[in-house]
Amino acid sequence: MKKVSFIHTSDIHLGHQQFNLEERFHDFARAFRDVVDYALDKKVDFMVIGGDFFHKRAINAETLRQAMELLQPLKESGIPVICIEGNHDKAFYQDRSSWLKLLNSLGYIRLLKPVVSEGKMAVTDWVPEGDGCVTLVGGIRLIGLGYLGVTTEQRLLEIGEQIEPSHNFTVLVLHAAVNKFLEKDLGGIRKEALDPLREKIDYLALGHIHTREEDGWFYNPGSLENCHIDEAREGREKGFYHVTVTAREKEVLYIPSGPRPVRLISIDISGAEDPEEVYSIVRRSLDALVPETGVRPMVQVILKGEIDFSALAIDTTAISREIKEKGDCLYVEVQNNANLPESDGADPLSETVNRPQIERKVLGQLVRRRFPQYKDCQDDLVNLIVRIKESALAGESPEEIIEEISLIARDLPDLDRDSCGEGEAAASAAGGEDIED
């Protein structure tokens, strides 16, 4: 067998106008253009996109135009683009068809999507005018499953039984997080759930997690740009893979991408007597905060430490404005974590309080108040609630959500009426549903 090479990239997030800045809209396009230019220069045989090509399901005309212009050189050069849907660009249940489906019908990509019949997924060949999850390029067999949410492990069992061993090098494309890479995620799967596929799959091409992760036979390249500013933490690599296959052997080369520079800075304001002293501490640090670069950076500043006055008195907007003007920054975000508890032994930058963490904390407090007798499985109940919410936001049908609830809830203790009543009484005695902190 001759050498065959391909690009594995994922989480492009075209159309993401981060912070409502047009420059960021173009940044995401530039990042993918670099991958396209690399593919053309190296004359690869095909490209694999592991989901989230678009940032949103409902894209605008400018994003569609941008996508077609970026894919056109690959189309003209005869380099097929094999793509799956991610959770960001998966069609709403009621729509049935995504914008990726349009790009498929116009010949820009091959959208691999399993056919579902009577609730079961089937392994069928891709056809240009319809669905199908298997295609062959240059002697490489590709099987694309897309984003399967909490049913991922169940669907992998269904698909695994149908995949026949092949003499062709086989790539499985999946938009999911292996649990050692992400503990709590709607698309997370246990590593053990992949073991039965290992004899049939040579390369598992993952997407979904925005940092590089790999383990032997499965690879996640990470996003090309920082979809969230705090993704730019030390050690969180972003880029794509250039894979060369000879017979059943593979050589995997990682190519780092070049996202817009991000500066993440933690400033200890402990002991400051008033807001003016906080501003002085920040000003003294400005030269170190924003070093000279050729590209206007994005900056996140985290204020931490114990102060004897209300943290709300600190004008973070004024701090942001001053840093942006002095450092010629594209964007500045100041997070005021003063007087908040710190995690023992944690990196100061990991102390950022983000929305998912707050959401889980609030839900955990609600569970403790309403169902105190289930404190031992509080995390499981919170996970169930979050997964139901994410399924609804993903546009899944009520029937699919009910099925997912049944799969998760069967491993939880039964919530009997008497104990639920006791939980509500306890909550009432505690003063209703007031949330701590």
DSSP assignment of 80-96, as one string?
-EEE---TTTSPPTTT-
Q: By the 8 A CB rule, do 186 and 150 touch?
A: yes
Whole-model pTM: value is 0.77
Backbone angles phi, psi at 116, to 5 degrees: -110, 125
The residues, ordered by sequence, that sit 6+ positions from 334 with a Cβ below 8 Å of its Cβ are 300, 301, 302, 303, 316, 317, 319, 320, 323
Candidates 390, 371, 414, 415; CA nearest to 147 is: 390
Stretch(es) of the chain classified as CATH 3.60.21.10: 4-256
DSSP 8-state code for residue 237: -
Q: By the 8 A CB rule, do 237 and 224 touch?
A: no
Three-state DSSP state, 120: strand
Q: What CATH fold (topology level) applies to the domain 4-256?
A: Purple Acid Phosphatase; chain A, domain 2 (3.60.21)
Distances (CA, A) of 419 to 215, 381, 416: 44, 15, 6
| pLDDT tens digit at each of 437 positions of the chain | 689 999 999 999 999 999 999 999 999 999 999 999 999 999 999 999 999 999 988 899 999 999 999 999 999 999 999 999 998 887 655 456 789 999 999 999 999 999 887 778 889 999 988 789 999 999 999 999 998 887 888 888 888 889 988 999 999 999 998 864 444 455 578 888 888 898 899 999 999 999 999 988 999 999 999 999 989 887 789 999 999 999 889 999 999 999 999 999 999 999 999 999 999 999 988 766 555 667 899 999 999 999 989 999 999 999 999 998 888 899 999 999 998 766 544 444 444 445 666 677 778 777 777 777 777 778 878 877 877 877 776 666 677 677 767 766 666 666 554 444 444 444 433 333 333 33
- Measured CA to CA, the distance from residue 380 to residue 278 in angstroms comes to 41
Q: By the 8 A CB rule, do 335 and 305 touch?
A: no
